Structure 1
Amino acid sequence: MSEFSTAQVHAGEARDAAHGARVTPIYLTAGFEFDSFAQAEGRFGGGEAGYTYSRSGNPTTAALERRVAALEGGREAIAVGSGQAALTVALLGLVQAGDHILSAQNVYSGTRGLFENGLRRLGIQLEFVDDPADLAEWRRRIRPNTRVLFGESIANPGTDILDIAGVADVAHEHGIPFVVDNTLATPYLLRPGDFGADIVVHSASKYLGGHGSTLGGVVVDQGSYDWSTSPFAHLTGPDEWLEGASYVQVHGAAAYTAFSRSVVASLFGPVLSPMNAFLIQQGVETLSLRVQRQSDTALAVARWLETQPEITRVDYAGLESHPSHPLAQRYLPRGQGAVLGFRLAGGAAAAERFYDAVDLFSRMTHVGDVRSLILHPASTTHAHLPAEVREETGIGGGLLRLSIGLEDVDDLIADLARGIAAVVAADVTVPDVTVPDVTAPDVTVPDVTVPDAVGAGR
């Protein structure tokens, strides 16, 4: 099943043969009944396939896992309760106290918080690459105890594009797995595994679900890393639960997924509700249609914003002016995603006026919704970061972030023009500017042609 638009509807589906249900049923149950003593013993011992308890696995969740793994071109996936849980499970399946994680500097603030306030308390060492585009810096910062390289395919909110193939080469030169957060790109625009990523994570709350109605996360093992020759003793060494055998001996190429599912996800318990799994799978079925339209609209909006004198910079990799534009052309030929940022010359005061003036954009912290959203990162999601970190990552007082939805592009631009007009009326921007007409300018989005091949633009 190689065509993306077909796979997003059919891959991994689980039909109800007993009742003829065409849509994957919602198995809303905490546990599963056993036919006999022997069957219960076999399932808990791993000798018999089947489900035991929804914390460890559920048929509805499993169907979602199979579908996302197929779309990412991965070997296997684990679905959990949120994107933050997905990243936690992915990393704790690899690292322990004393290990070192090397990450790009420009990662999402929640990810940085997990690293600095969560994993560091567990004795895990964290370090950030100041310039993720500098492969030499990645190499210089690797230590003997480095166990993970991490980055985001599209950074949030700066939209810098990660050189996935380049960083993957650095990771593999040192025998280290490379983990990529692919939330903003989605497997429709980019499959990191095609460029060397070993593990891919998603906040399924965003584009996979698509409607802002549910939380979820997914970890995808691409099947590219050789766990048998890895430095991960918890996978290659004897394990009491496996009667002295290792996870590699028992599970082979699936050793990492088996450990992450049975030890990390199951014991720490970040369970995805079967209802949420069902809703996310429903969202995945229209992923390509939504993301293509949103990306095209985002580019049109970014181009309009770039013409406004009150705006000093637009952060969107689809623009020729963005430093990551060449990488965007290489990795994201279908579109550069639907999140963008822009900076007002009047700073925080101008941002507040703009933010309060818009009507169509929803003021909230989220991305990937069918509705367009606006956020002021410096006073919300990134407010807890030290001032120097905000400065290094470009989170200034005048920055606003947009997540573009499915509304008409002319309506969105008209709403943004209201924000510009409010800034100018308050005289908190550059002098001698022309107040833009708040009616929608003549900006159109080209007809959307959704390419089908999963590997297009590889």
Structure 2
Amino acid sequence: MSDRLPGFSTLAVHAGAQPDPTTGARATPIYQTTSFVFNDADHAASLFGLQAFGNIYTRIGNPTNAVLEERVAALEGGTAALAVASGHAAQVVVLQQLMQPGDEFIAARKLYGGSINQFTHAFKSFGWNVVWADPDDISSFERAVTPRTKAIFIESIANPAGSITDIEAISTVARKAGVPLIVDNTLASPYLIRPIDHGADIVVHSLTKFLGGHGNSLGGIIVDAGTFDWSTGGKYPMLSEPRPEYHGIKLQETFGNFAFAIACRVLGLRDLGPALSPFNAFMILTGIETLPLRMQKQCDNAKAVAEFLAGHPAVASVSYAGLPSDKYHQLARKYAPKGAGAVFTFSLKGGYDAGVSLVSKLQLFSHLANVGDTRSLVIHPASTTHSQLDDAAKIKSGAGPDVVRLSIGIEDKEDLIADLEQALGA
């Protein structure tokens, strides 16, 4: 190619991949192996000592996974990436590099229910403390900052309500506090929003969702923006201090603008072990090739479905940032001009019972706990994904008792609307 930068769709197909040098295979092969042969003793020593890049053991890295990592890093505009077993695993590995027992991180209240549960309960066993802030009130993030704050965590498009977060405003708070901004970009995908362009230092995804896109493979990924100075103030010793297990190497000093991705691999993935299988990496890579086509179709369908629901007499309200009447519409126009995503919620006038009833009457929509599939999906969060929260917390997170969440797929929009119409009528 010429010197011009490839476009998004080109990167989605080609980034990180070359024909296999041995066989000529054009699709990235599945390297279904646990281990890799060393050239000699010196080569092995250099790999284990971080003096050379290469493959050692699939728990730490694998050639199939490496293509996936390079592709997502290119799509997000990052310097490097690390693929792991799930989105939850990505969050654990990220925070392990940043947090010591007794440290705090600030998180937006509007998050996926599983993340709220993980932050509130599971992370307590590590001595990591979450402080909640309201993404609709930027000053709440400023007030939450303390000397123990080590990071700020938000979602670009919040699950379940599909609300848009003001990434740039919260990035300003993070810069002032001297901490990295972590953005979960799962619901937007880099096709709609690239958080690094708006001040994010670290991006995470559940690859299971829109990037994989077919509901068949679990995965997660961490993208290093290469924008944060980990040596400032001694806040992040995992990156700035000599690592005894690697002969005193300082990761920030040695690896520069991709030091965080390296730390996640050689300190997090190596020891915690949430490795992504090469087969799942292959499946997700195949899904990413069609990401721009799927995502645009899903956004277009979602807008049509949201407009239908907004006019239905059984519906009390619709939360979809693609509607001009929505409170997040201006943020959607700023951050996601190609579409406001394919996940949104609506409230039924019949409350909790109406929500439970509706999901049982839909025929084309699948009732399950996932988003981002080619198929359209439905769930009643208050009785499922957010059921561990009390009623007040459910409402704050956008999952009140009357709320139904839709994840719109690539079917014909007329069929989706017809299915909703018959279920609402019944």
Q: TM-score, normalised by structure 2?
A: 0.97
Partner of residue 347, structure 2: 343
Please state how far the C-alpha of 1:205 moved relative to its aligned partner.
0.3
Contact 1:374 1:401 in 2 (8 A): yes
The whole-number CA distance in structure 2 between the counterparts of 1:38 and 1:186 is: 42
Partner of residue 266, structure 1: 270
Contact 2:97 2:239 in 1 (8 A): no
Correspondence for 2:369 among 360, 365, 369: 365
CA offsets per residue over residues 379-418 of structure 1, 9 Å max, x none?
1111111222113223222211110001100000000001
2:98 match: secondary structure: coil
Computing the radius of gyration over CA atoms, which structure comes out larger, 1 or 2?
1
The whole-number CA distance in structure 1 between the counterparts of 2:186 and 2:243 is: 34
The whole-number CA distance in structure 2 between the counterparts of 1:408 and 1:247 is: 50
Q: Which amino acid aligns with 1:34?
A: F
2:344 match: secondary structure: strand
Correspondence for 1:169 among 159, 172, 179: 172
Correspondence for 2:237 among 221, 233, 236: 233
The whole-number CA distance in structure 2 between the counterparts of 1:24 and 1:275 is: 11
The whole-number CA distance in structure 2 between the counterparts of 1:239 and 1:39 is: 21
The whole-number CA distance in structure 1 between the counterparts of 2:174 and 2:314 is: 42
Partner of residue 135, structure 1: 138
Is structure 2 residue 193 aligned with structure 1 residue 190?
yes
- Unaligned runs of 5+ residues in structure 1 are 423-458
1:11-160 alignment, distance < 5 Å: 11-129=15-133, 131-160=134-163
Correspondence for 2:328 among 307, 324, 328: 324
The whole-number CA distance in structure 1 between the counterparts of 2:319 and 2:169 is: 22
1:284-303 alignment, distance < 5 Å: 284-303=288-307
- Unaligned runs of 5+ residues in structure 2 are none
2:32 match: secondary structure: coil
Moved over 6 A (4+): none
Partner of residue 401, structure 2: 397
Q: Alignment length, in residue pairs?
A: 421
The whole-number CA distance in structure 1 between the counterparts of 2:39 and 2:139 is: 59
CA offsets per residue over residues 218-264 of structure 1, 9 Å max, x none?
10001111123252122112221232342222222222221111111
The whole-number CA distance in structure 1 between the counterparts of 2:72 and 2:53 is: 21
Contact 2:185 2:195 in 1 (8 A): yes
CA offsets per residue over residues 178-201 of structure 1, 9 Å max, x none?
000000000000100000000000
Q: TM-score, normalised by structure 1?
A: 0.90
Contact 1:14 1:63 in 2 (8 A): no
Contact 2:183 2:204 in 1 (8 A): yes
CA RMSD of aligned residues (A): 1.2
Partner of residue 224, structure 2: 221
The whole-number CA distance in structure 2 between the counterparts of 1:254 and 1:352 is: 46
Is structure 2 residue 253 aligned with structure 1 residue 242?
no
* % same residue: 47
